[in-house]
Amino acid sequence: MRWRSAEDSHRGNRRPKNEGSVFSAEEHQLWAVADGMGGHSFGDYASATITDALRRTNLAGTLSECVDEIEDLLLDVNSHLRQHAKEHCHGSTIGSTVVVFVARGNVGVALWAGDSPSTGCVRMRSSK
């Protein structure tokens, strides 16, 4: 089974800029929506850091290998964002929520941190 997708991101009605970031890699059967935490500094940087890290990650392994890789990646990005906040943001809170879906065949796994609401959207459908 193959999954197909389309993505879009919108700033919403309450924020002056878009703090959401989406990543789609159909060839690796991986999709992600990251949304900067509203009310905190540099949410756009935080969400883009997550999707950029996913873009650079080896996603060609088995489902369990990919899940392990993504978990490690998210922990590394969190450490980076905490350090970035200390060094460049006077210790302000900087963060993003994230939802990731990765599939192999007809089995998929969703991973998330926080609650990514509506600024990013990935629509998927399966085809045989």
Is the confidence at residue 38, as pLDDT, over 90? no
Task: Look over the chain and give the mean of its residue pLDDT values, rounded to a whole number.
Answer: 81
- Beta strand residue intervals within 1-128, DSSP E: 2-9, 20-25, 30-36, 96-104, 107-113, 120-127
* The CATH fold of domain 20-117: Phosphatase 2c; domain 1 (3.60.40)
- The per-residue pLDDT for range 41-89, each reduced to its tens digit, is 788 899 999 999 999 988 888 999 999 999 999 999 999 998 988 888 8
Query: Quick check: pTM over 0.85?
Result: no
Q: How confident is the model at residue 102 (pLDDT cuts 50, 70, 90)?
A: very high
Q: Terminal CA-to-CA distance of the chain, rounded, Å?
A: 5
Q: How confident is the model at residue 40 (pLDDT cuts 50, 70, 90)?
A: low
Which position has the higher pLDDT, 116 or 21?
A: 21
What residues does each domain of the chain span?
A: 20-117
Task: Identify the pLDDT of residue 16.
Answer: 65
